[in-house]
Amino acid sequence: MIESATRNTDPRPVPRIGVQPIAIGAVALALVLIGIGSIALWRAYTGNAPETDRAVAVRLLQARAAQASEQLVEKTKGLEATQQETIDQLQVVQDQLQTVRRQLAAQQTDTKKLSEQIGTLTEAIEGLRQSFASAQANEPSAESNTRKRSATARPRGSRSAHRKRGKSNG
């Protein structure tokens, strides 16, 4: 215990503890200042500053975004114009289709009328054929009698002479 009492009475150990932290702090401060100075000198020497690089990069991205936006606007306008042309062409085609439909309906109406007229004419022709056939059925006995009479009334030679004259005149 005597030693501990003698240590407490010694004035040196207390100043040693106080001097050492100040020296360490001064060396640490000097190292920090040297580091900051070297970084500043390196940036000044190379001309590269991350802040300016970032600002340039941001401006470049903004310019690209603006250019892309302008291109999108132009393409959108082009698409709108193409779409309008397509709509106009579609309307023209629809109008033509309506015209063709009207013409087709008119042709179908005309075809029906003509079919009805053909049917009527066919019936009329059939009626005429039947009346002609019935008239011929009634006349054959009368015609055969008149033919027989005319053939007997004329001599055969005169008939052939008449044919020969017709051939020689023609």
* pLDDT tens per residue across span 151-170: 555 555 544 444 444 444 44
Q: Of the given ranges (5-9, 65-69, 93-97, 114-118), which has the lowest mean pLDDT?
A: 5-9
Residue 170: predicted pLDDT: 44
Distance CA 165, CA 126 (A): 41
* pLDDT tens per residue across span 25-54: 899 999 999 999 998 888 777 776 667 778
Three-state SS annotation for 3-49: HHHHHHHCCCHHHHHHHHHHHHHHHHHHHHHHHHHHHHHHHHHHCCC
Question: Looking at this protein, which amino acid is placed at residue 124?
Answer: A
Question: Looking at this protein, which amino acid is placed at residue 58?
Answer: V
The answer to whether residue 57 scores a pLDDT higher than 90 is: no
Residues 9, 13, 17, 19, CA torsion sign: positive
Global pTM exceeds 0.85: no
CB within 8 Å of 43: residues ≥ 6 apart = 49
Buried b (16+ CB within 10 A) or exposed e, 43-81: eeeeeeeeeeeeeeeeeeeeeeeeeeeeeeeeeeeeeee
Residue 20: predicted pLDDT: 80
Q: How far is CA 157 from the centre of its chain?
A: 92
Distance CA 139, CA 121 (A): 26
Q: How far is CA 78 from the centre of its chain?
A: 14
Residue 49: predicted pLDDT: 64
User: Cβ(35)–Cβ(41) under 8 Å?
Assistant: no
CB within 8 Å of 13: residues ≥ 6 apart = 7
